[in-house]
Each structure stands twice: as C-alpha cells, then as structure tokens.
Amino acid sequence: MKAAGWRSVGIYGCAIALCQPLAACGSADAPPAPPAPREEAKADAAAALRRDVPLVIAFGDSLYAGYRLGPRDGLAPQLQAQLLADGIRVRVQNAGVSGDTTAAGRQRLSFVLDNAKSKPALVVLGLGGNDMLRGIGPDETRANLDAMLAELDRRGIPVLLTGMVAAPNLGADYAKAFNPIFHELATKYGASLYPFILDNVVTDPSLMLDDHIHPNAKGVEVIAQGLAPLVGAALPEQ
C-alpha cells in the first residue's frame, strides 16, 4: 500500500475506535438520507443494460449496501456507471447487507449465488469490518472468508477482494493477526485485491458521512473509480 494508503489506515483506525460501540458498520434499520443528485446520463445508461451482459455481484456489508445513500449512490450502481464510462458493459448487483459479519456473509453466499439471474462473471467481496468492530477473533474472520473464497473457487467464479484494517485500540496482537488476512487469502486463491476499501476517501471529510465510518455518495464514487480498473482486469474475456 502506498504511503497515502497507510495514512488512510491510521485515520480510519482512529475513527472506528471512537465509534466502536456501534459495532455494526451500519444498521439495516437506519433511516436513509434523501437521495443525492447524480448524473442522470449515467443512470439512464445503466438502466438500459441488457440482461445478457456479464453479471458482477458486489457482496459485502454496509460499505457495499449504500448505507444512508440514495438508490443510485451505493457502490453497485456507481461501479456499474464507472465501468460503463470505461466501455465495459456489465450489470453490477448489490448484494451488500448492513451489519453483516463474515459469518453472516458465509451463511447467505450460496443463496445469493444460487438465485442470481445468471452465473456471475465476477464477485467483488468485502466483509470483515464488522468482525473487527465487534472484536471477533481474527481466526474466525479468516476461516469464514476462506470458506467463501473456497466456495467461489469451487464454482469457478473469479473474485476481487476488498480489504479492511484493525482499529489501533484493539492492540498490536489483534492487528498482526487481522490485517494480513486479506492479502494472504487473495494470494491463496489467486483473487485480485484492493487492500483498503476506504483508501483515498477516509482522509477527506468531504467524502465521508458524519459518522466518520461510511463514505457519502462522492466518497463511493472515488471507491468505484479505484475499483473499476481492477474489475475490468479481473473479468473473463468477453
């Protein structure tokens, strides 16, 4: 990770340490904020996609689900719009659930895959933040992520894994066990890796909600811009 990325890690770690009593990285019953105005042309282009284009599933927690954002402002719609702008025609399905731990994600992964309209060309996987906020043992987090990656590998579905980092107040031992999980599992399964999902976002208050944990619509746009080239590279040739 670049130096700027490590600064992001430190600032985000301090923020989540202060907000750790939330212990859910978002709540499913939190009231949504009014939709922010977005570029209508991008939304229209996304809506016009045929059903037979490749499917990308964004499978994660509130950072994926679009916590307190309008329906066009979450990661899935913004990533799809960015890919379309780059000339890559895919459908990105939002499979983010606020509050999900890796254990919850592991329980629902097969259901999501089995009920997809078509076999995904790629799964973007981002879980572990809520495990860390709740102080769940890194061994459990690793085991759950490993099981999900193994299932995706068994089904022949490529993966782009987005990483998270431990809050400093959890201690050096926790961080030493938690932080390497994403890189090591990405290497084990040959998955693409985006080391820290909030890199280049959490350091800018104008890109974050007032909880200092979740990105706002502009912050998600920055994340989508960072992920899009990796998604394009990870997709099988069409």
CATH number for 68: 3.40.50.1110
C-alpha–C-alpha distance, residues 130 and 134, integer Å: 6
The one catalytic residue in 153, 204, 211, 212 is: 211
Q: What is the pLDDT along the chain (238 residues), one digit of tens a residue?
A: 444 454 555 555 555 544 443 445 554 444 444 444 455 545 544 455 566 899 999 999 999 999 999 999 999 999 999 999 999 999 999 999 999 999 999 999 999 999 999 999 999 999 999 999 999 999 999 999 999 999 999 999 999 999 999 989 999 999 999 999 999 999 999 999 999 999 999 889 999 999 999 999 999 999 999 999 999 999 987 6
Q: Which structure tokens are listed for 214?
A: 């979740």
Query: Which domain range does residue 194 map to?
Result: 3-20+51-234
Asked, for residue 35, whether it belongs to a domain, the answer is: no
Asked, for residue 31, whether it belongs to a domain, the answer is: no
pLDDT in the model for residue 25: 56
173 CB burial (10 A radius; 0-12, 13-18, 19+): exposed
Is there a catalytic annotation at residue 211?
yes
Asked, for residue 146, whether it belongs to a domain, the answer is: yes
Is there a catalytic annotation at residue 62?
yes
Is there a catalytic annotation at residue 214?
yes
Asked, for residue 45, whether it belongs to a domain, the answer is: no
The one catalytic residue in 8, 61, 62, 131 is: 62
pLDDT in the model for residue 7: 53
Asked, for residue 27, whether it belongs to a domain, the answer is: no
C-alpha–C-alpha distance, residues 159 and 40, integer Å: 30
Q: How many domains does the chain have?
A: 1
